[in-house]
Every structure is written in structure tokens, then in C-alpha cells.
């Protein structure tokens, strides 16, 4: 069986109301409210409910100014740890779609969905399934797919389907860089895309052109998954599900051989070998084998098929 070479695709989630929706669910809050914390020596609004936003209260506003607008405004302390815990819990749940899920705090996740969309009949079906699950949890989410994590993030946060049409603010750089770009008359990522990269590097740093290329979807350096990668990793992804036991066992043998080759190149062995099988319905089967002494022989690990 041949393993298809798959183009990487990424799905980004942006949860614009995560803090408020988490607080509303946890504390059973019904009235309009704001979450506050002390910043720069003053109490400030850091998150608001949808209803509060319609009253003119926005994140970043000093609490005194917010109360001048809405004297009866209800406030609660912002619980950053609770937000982080919810985001991590959501990332764990997204492993039903792909083993590669990355946190994008404070309001996002990124999934590497290459080879994972078949059970949902494509990207659109996977996005619809995930959006429906989030809606049942009472969470608002914007979802977008692209060829790089940065492009997917930008589209999820700012909307649309064309990265070049997004505002300069979609580029994750310091606020003063945004100001400088706008002063130079550059309003969209498309305006930046047609500019020579060398002058941009000279003005904004050597890393700026690479960040721009990744955000435009031109350059993919992949992402760092939430779960730490094992010291030696072998992976096979399939464009179609495999159902025959023989095919699974042959794949397992191939992976074990790849691991053995890598260990031999390092003149090393392993004592713990873990396997994860991601089924097309989202189920993940995991098993591990431990040995008394380091080894790199697939036959001794019990991971390779015997001849014949």
C-alpha cells in the first residue's frame, strides 16, 4: 500500500468571546457584565459579554470610564487560569479530529488537518462538525483553513477568505510596527505582499519577511503541537481510511522499521514504544510497550511482522 504525500492544511479557531462565555457558563450569569483586572495601576475592562458590548463597553476601557457610561455595570474578576484551562480542554477535545493540535492563547487553537478530513467529506464538513460542537458548549467560534498556521489564524480572527485583503493588524507584530506601516500608507497585507522584502527586513527586523510570508500562506514552517513530540517519531497518514487488519499490521511494521533506522543512526535504543491509531470516526486507540533494556530491534519490540 502506498502512502499518499499530503499537502499540509491547517484549521484555526478563534474564540472572540471565550472569557465572557466561560464566565457566563461557570457562574450562571444572566445580566450584561464585564470582566476586570488591574493593569498599569488601574482597574480595566478585559472582556465583556455580547450584551455589554452593545452598551459601548469595550476591552481596554478603564473601569471608571465604563461606569460613567453604564453606572449599573456588573463586574467580575477576570480568571486567566480558568480561561487557559478551558482552552486546553478544548484542545484535548479537538484530538478527535487530528493528533496535531496547538494552543494559540488567549483565544485560539490551530489544528493540522492534513489527511484528517475524509470522515467529514472534506474541510467544510469537518469545520461544520466542530462548529456545531462548540455551539452546543455555548461558545462562539470563527473557523478558517489555510496552507499555513499563520494564514489560518489571520483569517479566523479577521474574517474573509483572502489573506491579502486583511488589514495590517492581522500581522502579529508589535503595535508600534502597525502604526509605522499605516503611516507609510500600507493598509492591507496585500499592500505589503507586493513590496520588496529586503527593505522591510532592514526597517522592521530580519524575521519580518518570514513572518509576512507565513501569514500570506507562502511559507510553512509547521506548528508546535500541544502534546510534546516523542524523541523519535514515525508517522503515516492516509487519504482514505484503511480497514483491513493486514494493512494495519503492515503499516505498523513499516513504522517500527523507520524508528529502528533512526535509533541506529543515533546509536541509541528505546525502552518505551507508544502507538496511537486514529480511526476515521474520531476514536483514538493507544498502546505502549516497555522493554527491560534499550533496544532498536522491531522484532524484539513485538512491533514488526514476522516474515511470511
| pLDDT tens-place string over residues 258-267 | 888 888 887 8
What does the domain layout of the chain look like in residue ranges?
A: 245-301
Any idea which of 28-42, 73-87, 237-251 has the lowest mean pLDDT?
237-251
What is the per-residue pLDDT for 249? 84
pLDDT at position 52 over 80: yes
What is the per-residue pLDDT for 305? 47
For 198, the 3-state DSSP assignment is helix
Mean pLDDT of the chain: 88
What is the per-residue pLDDT for 280? 63
| pLDDT tens-place string over residues 145-156 | 999 999 999 999
- Burial class from Cβ neighbours inside 10 Å (0-12, 13-18, 19+) for residue 140 reads middle
pLDDT at position 175 over 90: yes
CB atoms within 10 A of CB 232: 17
What is the per-residue pLDDT for 242? 79
| pLDDT tens-place string over residues 185-228 | 999 999 999 999 999 999 999 999 999 999 999 999 888 888 76
Question: For the residues 146-170, what does the mean pLDDT come to?
Answer: 96
State pTM to two decimals: 0.75
- Alpha-carbon distance of 54 to 73, in angstroms, equals 13
Cell 492581522 locates to 170
For 14, the 3-state DSSP assignment is strand
In the chain, % of residues over pLDDT 90: 60
C-alpha cell at 53: 458590548
Amino acid at each position: 500500500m502506498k502512502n499518499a504525500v499530503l499537502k499540509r492544511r491547517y484549521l484555526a479557531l478563534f474564540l472572540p468571546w471565550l472569557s465572557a462565555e466561560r464566565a457566563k457558563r461557570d457562574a450562571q450569569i444572566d445580566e450584561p457584565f464585564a470582566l476586570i483586572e488591574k493593569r498599569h495601576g488601574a482597574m480595566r475592562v478585559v472582556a465583556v459579554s455580547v450584551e455589554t458590548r452593545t452598551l459601548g463597553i469595550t476591552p481596554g476601557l478603564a473601569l471608571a470610564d465604563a461606569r460613567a457610561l453604564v453606572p449599573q455595570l456588573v463586574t467580575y474578576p477576570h480568571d486567566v487560569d480558568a480561561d487557559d484551562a478551558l482552552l486546553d480542554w478544548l484542545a484535548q477535545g479537538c484530538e478527535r479530529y487530528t493528533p496535531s493540535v496547538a494552543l494559540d492563547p488567549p483565544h485560539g487553537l490551530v489544528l493540522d488537518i492534513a489527511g484528517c478530513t475524509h470522515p467529514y467529506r472534506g474541510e467544510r464538513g469537518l469545520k461544520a462538525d466542530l462548529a456545531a460542537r462548540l455551539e452546543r458548549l455555548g461558545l462562539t467560534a470563527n473557523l478558517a483553513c489555510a496552507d499555513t498556521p499563520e494564514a489560518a489564524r489571520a483569517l479566523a480572527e479577521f474574517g474573509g477568505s483572502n489573506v491579502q485583503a486583511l488589514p495590517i493588524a492581522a500581522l502579529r507584530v508589535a503595535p508600534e510596527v502597525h502604526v509605522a506601516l499605516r503611516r507609510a500608507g500600507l493598509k492591507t497585507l496585500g499592500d505589503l505582499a507586493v513590496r520588496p522584502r529586503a527593505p522591510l527586513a532592514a526597517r522592521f527586523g530580519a524575521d519580518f519577511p518570514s513572518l509576512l510570508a507565513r501569514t500570506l500562506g507562502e511559507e510553512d514552517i509547521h506548528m508546535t503541537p500541544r502534546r510534546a513530540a516523542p524523541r523519535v517519531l514515525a508517522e503515516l497518514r492516509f487519504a482514505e481510511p484503511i480497514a483491513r487488519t493486514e494493512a494495519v499490521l503492515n503499516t505498523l511494521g513499516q513504522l517500527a522499521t523507520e524508528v529502528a533506522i533512526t535509533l541506529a543512526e543515533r546509536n541509541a535504543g528505546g525502552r518505551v514504544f507508544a502507538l496511537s491509531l486514529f480511526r476515521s470516526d474520531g476514536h483514538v486507540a493507544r498502546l505502549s510497550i516497555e522493554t527491560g533494556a534499550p533496544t532498536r530491534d522491531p522484532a524484539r519490540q513485538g512491533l514488526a511482522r514476522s516474515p511470511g
